[in-house]
Each structure stands twice: as structure tokens, then as C-alpha cells.
């Protein structure tokens, strides 16, 4: 038996706190952010797309009761609902018209691990070096070229670089760090499936499409 699709219950207060922190970070980058929710059995997956990074961010939470749900809602309204119920059972906000990305999620299964991913501190160092490079190059631009378009071009060039030949763009690592997923000393893994790469950590995942739409699922999916 499942609980009503408009009501979910976290396994404990920590799950609520962690998900709330994730939602707050998404809203920091986009106050009008939407998230897609998928619940199955005792798990809830929340998918978001921070516009600054052009990646898909995934945060999961354990539920205290079995539930089935697939809906796209306002991230801000969801955060308010979680806070209003003091981290226990909360009402899922009304569905909204989802952005295009919400209809194309990573595949349910078929993930395989890819070797060659550097350890966390190395990747965090690469992000810091990239940020410093951007600032230096921005400062060196002559006044007539210091435009939004030129800064965007430099940013795209830097963040499109791949990590240690794995194919994972540096912007995915930057997103993982900015969203609180890439913390010092945590285990990380790089997975591949159906035209997607996924950087997985204990605190959440960052997924990026690497080719077309082949192998993608637009039906409810579960990340293993």
C-alpha cells in the first residue's frame, strides 16, 4: 500500500534537512527553479537543473513510508512545505508545467563505472584553478572586449574541459562542489549509461548528457 501521492514522510529529520539544503542551493541559482520528484518504495529522488552549470543535479532522500509519485513542482514551494512541517510528513505542492529538461532524465539502469576519476581533493583543486584562471583572463580583457558575451565565451571554454581524460566536463565537478556534493574525503565514482555520465557522491549526483537523446528515458526512472 502506498501513502497518498500528495503526502510524503521522511525517514528522519536529517533527510529533510539535507533535502532542504539542496533546494536552497538550487534556488540560489534560480529563484524560479522547478524540480521533478519521483518516489518509489522508500525513496524519493529530486532532480534539478541549476542554469549556471548546464547539468542535472540529483538528490535522494529516504522515506519513512512507501510511496509512488512522479511530479514536477516549484523548488521554492517544496522548500516551504518541508519547513512548514518541521521535517516530518509534508504536503507535496501543486504540480507546475515542467521545463523541457524535466521530461528527459537519465536511464533507470545499465550504469557502469568508469576508471580514471581523480580523487576529490584533486578535483576541487582543478575547480579552484579554473575559477582563478577565469578571473585572471577577465581582468586582462581590454575595456572594449569586457562584455557579457566575451566572458561567457571564456567560461564555456574553461568549463568544457574534461577531467583527466574521462570525458566528464569540469562544469560538472564545479556544480557538484557548489551544490555541496563534493566534500573533502568523500568517495566518488564516475558512471556511464545511455549517453549520460554521472558523478556520484554520498550527498548527491551530477549527470550530464554526452550524446544526442539515444538511450534516454522520458518515463519515471530510478537511479541505481
The DSSP-derived string for 72-118 is EEEHHHHHHHHHHTTTSEEEPPPB-PPPGGGG-B--SS--EEES-PP
Band of residue 187 on the pLDDT scale cut at 50, 70, 90: very high
Band of residue 212 on the pLDDT scale cut at 50, 70, 90: low
What is the per-residue pLDDT for 98? Answer: 85
pTM, 2 dp: 0.87
Question: How far from chain centre, in Å, is Cα 109?
Answer: 18
Taking the C-alpha atoms of residue 23 and residue 19, their distance in angstroms, rounded to an integer, is 6
Taking the C-alpha atoms of residue 205 and residue 49, their distance in angstroms, rounded to an integer, is 12
What is the per-residue pLDDT for 154? Answer: 95
What is the per-residue pLDDT for 3? Answer: 41
C-alpha cell at 147: 562584455
Dihedral in degrees, nearest 10, Cα atoms 17, 22, 27, 29: 150
Residue 218 vs residue 155, higher pLDDT: 155
Which domains, from first to last, does the chain contain?
A: 7-103 (3.10.150.10), 112-209 (no CATH)
Strand 43-48, strand 89-91: pairing: unpaired
pLDDT at 93 over 80: yes
What is the per-residue pLDDT for 52? Answer: 84
Q: Is 164 helix (H, G, I), strand (E, B) or coil?
A: coil
pLDDT at 85 over 70: no
Question: How far from chain centre, in Å, is Cα 12?
Answer: 22
pLDDT at 132 over 80: yes
Amino acid at each position: 500500500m502506498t501513502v497518498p501521492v500528495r503526502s510524503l514522510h521522511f525517514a528522519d529529520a536529517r533527510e529533510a534537512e539535507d533535502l532542504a539544503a539542496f533546494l536552497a542551493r538550487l534556488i540560489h541559482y534560480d529563484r524560479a527553479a522547478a524540480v521533478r520528484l519521483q518516489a518509489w518504495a522508500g525513496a524519493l529522488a529530486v532532480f534539478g537543473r541549476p542554469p549556471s552549470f548546464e547539468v542535472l543535479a540529483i538528490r535522494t532522500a529516504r522515506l519513512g513510508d512507501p510511496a509512488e509519485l512522479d511530479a514536477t513542482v516549484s523548488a521554492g514551494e517544496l522548500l516551504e512545505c518541508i519547513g512548514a512541517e518541521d521535517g516530518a510528513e509534508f504536503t507535496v505542492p501543486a504540480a507546475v508545467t515542467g521545463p523541457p529538461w524535466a521530461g528527459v532524465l537519465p536511464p533507470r539502469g545499465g550504469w557502469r563505472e568508469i576508471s580514471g576519476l581523480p580523487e576529490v581533493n584533486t578535483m576541487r583543486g582543478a575547480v579552484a584553478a579554473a575559477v582563478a584562471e577565469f578571473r585572471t583572463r577577465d581582468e586582462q580583457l581590454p575595456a572594449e572586449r569586457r562584455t557579457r558575451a566575451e566572458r561567457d565565451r571564456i567560461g564555456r571554454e574553461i568549463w568544457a574541459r574534461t577531467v583527466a581524460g574521462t570525458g566528464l566536463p569540469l562544469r560538472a565537478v564545479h556544480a557538484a562542489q557548489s551544490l555541496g556534493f563534493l566534500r573533502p574525503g568523500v568517495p566518488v565514482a564516475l558512471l556511464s549509461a545511455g549517453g549520460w555520465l554521472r558523478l556520484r557522491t554520498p550527498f548527491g549526483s551530477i549527470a550530464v548528457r554526452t550524446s544526442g537523446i539515444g538511450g534516454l528515458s522520458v518515463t519515471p526512472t530510478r537511479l541505481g
